[in-house]
């Protein structure tokens, strides 16, 4: 009887040890999974806390309007984007470095094209070949009217913005426009219009794709910069801008 009781006690102790090991393994695995979830959760929370530049909530591709222009700026098709950038670079080198004039280039191109077509048309009778088929080109009316209407809307909007700024109602907008025009005048003093246009063209082909790749870091840095700018503007407003007399305010709308 005593030996039987000892065997039972030994068996129970072994079962207890096995069950303890199983429970400890389950608890450690659950704690590891909890730790993994906690370690994975902060990046999403950090990303949600980051404020996008200019309040952007859409992807960069949508901000650029989508479609083929956005694909070109973001180098979705590297051959097309590289070809366009290379062509713009060739034009800039041709007119800026070689100092070739636009009117001269157009005239020389027309002379060469007309001479080739004229000789080909007359020589086709002697060499028994068909003359070149010169297509008839007509500019449709509807696209021209659409472009003119869109341009008119944008010009009227620009005039309206300039009128609001000149009326003296928004001092912050006035100072930002003055600063932008002043910087643009300095840039225009360094280079001509063609070089400025080429610089903007290159920036459009480099900045969006660089921002799309490193948007989290850039947005975090821009957020800190905007906070500092707002602090400095608040100090400037309290000490200087608030003492400047403002223009007449708009009449309040009647409810």
Q: How far is CA 96 from CA 92, 99, 198, in A?
A: 6, 5, 10
Q: Report the pLDDT value the prediction gives residue 63, as an integer from 0 to 100.
A: 78
What is Dmax (Cα atoms) for the chain?
128
Q: Report the pLDDT value the prediction gives residue 234, as an integer from 0 to 100.
A: 83
Round to whole Å and give the CA distance between 59 and 140: 35
Is residue 171 within 8 A of residue 246, CB to CB? The reply is yes
Is residue 88 within 8 A of residue 194, CB to CB? The reply is no
Q: Report the pLDDT value the prediction gives residue 126, as an integer from 0 to 100.
A: 77
Q: Report the pLDDT value the prediction gives residue 253, as an integer from 0 to 100.
A: 44
Q: Report the pLDDT value the prediction gives residue 38, as an integer from 0 to 100.
A: 44
Domain boundary assignment for the chain: 160-190
Round to whole Å and give the CA distance between 166 and 173: 10
Q: Report the pLDDT value the prediction gives residue 114, as an integer from 0 to 100.
A: 93
For the packed helices 193-213 and 215-239, what is the interaxial angle rounded to 10 degrees? 120
Q: How far is CA 141 from CA 99, 134, 147, 149, 241, in A?
A: 36, 22, 10, 12, 51
Round to whole Å and give the CA distance between 129 and 123: 8
pTM attached to this predicted model: 0.56
Q: Report the pLDDT value the prediction gives residue 254, as an integer from 0 to 100.
A: 44
Round to whole Å and give the CA distance between 82 and 71: 12
Q: Report the pLDDT value the prediction gives residue 47, as an integer from 0 to 100.
A: 45
Round to whole Å and give the CA distance between 162 and 154: 12
Over its length of 255 residues, how does the chain's per-residue pLDDT go in tens digits? 444 444 445 455 555 655 565 555 444 444 444 444 444 444 444 444 556 665 566 777 887 777 888 888 888 889 999 999 999 999 999 988 888 888 998 999 999 999 998 988 888 777 777 878 888 888 889 989 998 999 999 999 989 988 888 887 778 888 888 888 898 888 888 888 888 889 999 998 999 888 888 888 888 888 888 888 888 888 887 877 677 766 554 444 444
Q: How far is CA 243 from CA 39, 176, 179, 189, 236, in A?
A: 52, 18, 20, 34, 10
């Amino acid at each position: 009887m005593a030996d039987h009781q000892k065997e039972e006690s030994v068996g129970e102790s072994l079962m207890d040890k096995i069950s303890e090991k199983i429970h400890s393994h389950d608890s450690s695995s659950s704690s590891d999974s909890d730790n993994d979830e906690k370690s994975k959760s902060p990046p999403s929370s950090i990303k949600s806390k980051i404020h996008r530049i200019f309040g952007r909530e859409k992807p960069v591709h949508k901000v650029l309007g989508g479609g083929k222009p956005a694909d070109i700026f973001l180098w979705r098709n590297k051959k097309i984007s590289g070809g366009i950038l290379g062509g713009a670079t060739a034009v800039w080198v041709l007119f800026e470095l070689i100092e070739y004039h636009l009117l001269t280039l157009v005239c020389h191109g027309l002379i060469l094209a007309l001479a080739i077509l004229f000789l080909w048309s007359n020589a086709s009778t002697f060499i028994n070949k068909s003359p070149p088929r010169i297509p008839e080109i007509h500019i449709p009316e509807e696209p021209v009217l659409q472009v003119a209407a869109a341009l008119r809307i944008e010009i009227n909007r620009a005039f309206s913005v300039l009128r609001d700024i000149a009326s003296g109602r928004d001092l912050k907008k006035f100072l930002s426009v003055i600063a932008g025009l002043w910087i643009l005048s300095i840039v225009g003093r360094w280079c001509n219009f063609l070089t400025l246009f080429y610089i903007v063209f290159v920036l459009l082909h480099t900045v969006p794709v660089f921002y799309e790749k490193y948007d989290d870091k850039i947005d975090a840095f821009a957020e800190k910069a905007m906070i500092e700018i707002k602090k400095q503007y608040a100090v400037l407003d309290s000490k200087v801008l608030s003492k400047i007399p403002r223009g007449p305010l708009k009449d309040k709308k009647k409810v």
